[in-house]
Each structure stands twice: as C-alpha cells, then as structure tokens.
Chains A and B, each alone.
Chain A
C-alpha cells in the first residue's frame, strides 16, 4: 500500500504505528480439540447463588503471595494470541468495577484484610475465582488464602497456561449464570 495515494493524504511508509498494525500477530482459535479442561466448579458455592453474567465479565486480580508466574500467565490472556476481549472479558483497575475477583498465590498474613476489603468493595452480584495451585490448595509453598474457599471455579496448574485460565474464567461466567 502506498500511503501517498488517496487524495493527497501523505504518511511516511515507515510509520511504526501502521507497520505494527499490519504486522501484528494474529489471535488464535481456541484449541478445543486438543485442550483438556482442568478447571473445577465448586458445586457448593455454585448452588448457593445465581449471578447473571450473560454478557461481559470484569476481572480484578489480587496477588496474595504468588511467585509471579501466575501473574504473568493471567496478564497473557489480554495479549494477541489469546485476546480475552473477544470473549467479553476485561480487566479493571479497581474492585469497584469488578464482577469477579481472581486470587493468585498462597495465604499471607497481611493480605487477608486486603482481600476482604477488595471483595467487600465489589458491587453485587460478584464471584471469586482461584487461579493456580497456591491459591486453591497452597501448592508446594504454604496454605491457600481462606477466602478462596468461596471460589466458584478453581483453575489448577503451576502456573495454569493462558488457555486454561480463559477456559476457567468462561466456565465461572457460565455456571454462575445458569
């Protein structure tokens, strides 16, 4: 494409923005055929509540005592290979705008209050998802945060890969809306 055409409109052909847009990596199709879903629904929590999240789901994550790998894999779902937004999933920067609280890492004394305050600040209806072995059982490191017992869905793995995370979040959205 020559940017000098089109009615005198001129733009440098080496413009990084356009180059980036045209060369940017493509989002992949969800690999359903070879994907083994591992997330577990917490039936007890699920049957207690009805939470209509039919369309989008806004996520707020808290690191209670993670090594950083779960944090990186969660963040990866927003990147081009995975593109969470196409599935109606969005990160928010405050619990006040969040539908789901995602917990990463093991129990740590000083994060207990932080987790509770964030959960209380979320508008209803709201749900919790535990991500990674540390958050759902303590894994190899310690104990899990107490609040993760309220999780609708647990996503195991150390760390779970971005597809496993997407699958778990979508499952949480679906089971909560039924």
Chain B
C-alpha cells in the first residue's frame, strides 16, 4: 500500500471499511461505533412502516417511523431486503470488474475507478496523465448526472412538474453524452487496469448548454418561495460523521478530491464548495447545483490536459495490498483489497450511502411526514451500495 498506512487516527474520520476505520490519512484497526439512535418515549406514538416496496422510493428499503400522526419522533431503517451477494473472491481483476461495475449503476465510474485505484496501488502501477484526466472527467460527468437526478427527485416531491421535467431532460442529455463518448450510458466496460477505453476530447464543449440550462433552473427554483419553504429547516444535520455533499452542506470541507492523492484534482485548481448554512435540505440543494457548475469547469480544465494516450504500464505486481479512494457523487468511496497471484483474496468497501444513512435517520427527528421525501432525496443515498456483500 503506497498511500496509506495502518496507524493511529490521523486526518478526518471517514467511516468503517472491513475491520478498520478509515481516516483521511490512516487506517485504524477499530470498528467505527455507530451511535445508537435513541427515541424519546411517547405514549401516543405508534409505528408507521414505509416500504420495502412503494411507488415513492426508487429502490426497495424499509423505514420504520415512530410518529404521533404528523410529526416524526424517530426513525429506523432496514435497507437489507434486496441484499445481493457478489461472487468476486478468488476471481482475477478482469473477471471481477463487470461485477464491481454493477454494484451501484448510477455510480459505475466511481466504483470501477476506486476499485481499480486499489488494484493499481497493490500492483504498484503508475498511471499516465491521459488516464488520470480521463478518469477525472468520467467522475465529474457522473457527478453532474447524479446531482441533476437528485434535484429532479426533490422537485418531484414538491409536484413541480416543469423543473422536474427540465432536469430529467438534462439528465437524459448527459446519459446520451456519456454513451456517445464511452459507448455505454453507465460507463460499463470503460475502465481497466492501467487503462481507459474512452476518447473524451470535445466533451466540455458539449456540456456548455446543459450547464447553462441547469443554472437557469437553479435561479428559478431559488426564486420559488413554495419550493424553498419545503427545504428550509428540513433534515438539519448536526453530525460530524457525515461525508460528501451532506457534509459540505454543513460547512465541512470534506472531499476526497482534496485529501486523496490518487487523482490530481488539486493540480486543476480544485477546492470544495461549502455552504455555511444550517445543514438542511436547502444547503444540500445549493451544494449540488454549485457542484454541477464546478464539475463543468473541472472537465474543461482536465480536457486541456488530455494528451494522446501513451502505452500500457508494463510493470505489474501480482501480490499486494491496496487502497483506492474517489469522491463519488454522494461522497468518499473506498476499496481496500488484497491480491494473491493476481486474484482477489480480500475485499472491503466503504460507501457514502452506508456512512450517511444513520445521519439521515437522525436528521428526520422533529420533521413532519411531508418533509420526508425532500430530505431523503437530498441525501442521494443508494441502497444498492448498502445491501451488498462479497463472497
């Protein structure tokens, strides 16, 4: 492992990965203690079960809501209904890759790049600039698509048909752009060890209009008192244990793009956008729109540095341990793997959805039922990367 070491806590705490807790600089052999969620006793409260299957949620998951009728007194969740056990142990990296790409369909680029980052760390592979910049562009395109999706879902919760359709129209344009450049709408089969199979020259030009349309929709939504009222004070996060846009919405500059050196974001002049508000759904909404603009700029800068592809790395170790970290659209995403004779011997993963789910549950206390969807969507949690195990 070239970039991380087993040591005491150093840097910000990110979350649990396998038997360890990951900090931004070290791996610590301790289990991350998830704070138990305590609800106050109430004589009149009853449990309302929402899920696991409902038209209001995109994925299957269950929420158990303690309520007195309108206000939410507390909430627990059971995200494991759709548990998938993925057969990757004992496989070589090439065979495992299509499975890793299918852990979370909306974050395929993030998962495959974080996984390959760990593999390349274990194999001690150096990457050329074309690959590094290409991977940055992939990640930022995925971020733009995801943020459009999240904000559109928030508009859907408000029954705001016009911005909802506008945003999904833009998301579809991004999907088509990704398909045009990579051959697949979800970046399947693009990333390989020490390689990428995608020619991204010209992509930033194609993004300009989408970015302007997003800016107009943002201005309009911020002008809408009805919409803003649904987000203000909804799902206030006071928890330091959050990551990604949720943390940046609370004013914490937590971002793997600055504290992971796997990809050279800082060379592109990157620094995280933060919002020093209350840490509510409104702040997460603002962060996501601002990050759409920022990602467009990053793509422009990275494209300037895309030089023609050099050759494949020839030096590859067959054994070793590696850690790969990227900032997925919802936050830090990390893989820790051990390779033995080129096969995966051990693998563990830290996903932003798993870290942020307890934070979401805590943030619902004191809200009312109708706040639920705005808050849930604003977190951008994907159950597919929680209800998953490796065998």
Contact = CB atoms under 8 A, between A and B. Distances in A.
B258 to A, nearest CB: 27
Interface residues of A, number: 45
B125 interface: no
A41 interface: no
Given A66-B59, A140-B102, A114 B84 contact: no
A144 to B, nearest CB: 13
Interface stretch (A2-10, A12-20, A31-39, A169-177): A12-20
Interface in B201-220: 213, 216-217, 219-220
Contacts of A79: 165, 168-169, 171-172
Contact of B169 (A25, A106, A158): A25
Interface stretch (A44-52, A57-65, A123-131, A147-155): A57-65
Determine which residue in A25, A69, A141, A159 has the highest number of CB atoms from chain B within 10 A of its CB, and name it: A69
A69 to B, nearest CB: 3
Contacts of B165: 20, 24-25, 79-80
B221 A16 contact: yes
Contacts of B185: 73, 159, 161
Given A65-B83, A141-B86, A142-B85, A17 B162 contact: yes
B55 A60 contact: yes
A19 B220 contact: yes
B81 A110 contact: yes
B106 interface: yes
Interface in B128-170: 149, 162-163, 165-166, 168-169
Residue from the set B82, B219, B387 with the largest chain A CB neighbour count within 10 Å: B82
A16 B106 contact: no
B194 to A, nearest CB: 23
A19 to B, nearest CB: 7
Nearest to B80: A110
Interface of A: 16-17, 19-21, 23-25, 60, 62-73, 75-76, 79-81, 91-94, 105-106, 108-111, 114, 118, 139-142, 158-159, 161
Given A114-B53, A141-B84, 15 more contacts: A16-B223, A62-B53, A63-B53, A65-B84, A68-B59, A69-B186, A70-B105, A71-B59, A72-B105, A80-B165, A93-B55, A110-B80, A111-B52, A159-B185, A161-B185
8 contacts: A17-B162, A60-B55, A66-B59, A68-B59, A69-B102, A106-B84, A109-B83, A111-B81
Interface of B: 52-56, 58-60, 80-86, 98-99, 102-106, 108, 149, 162-163, 165-166, 168-169, 171-172, 175, 185-186, 188, 213, 216-217, 219-221, 223-224, 382, 384, 387
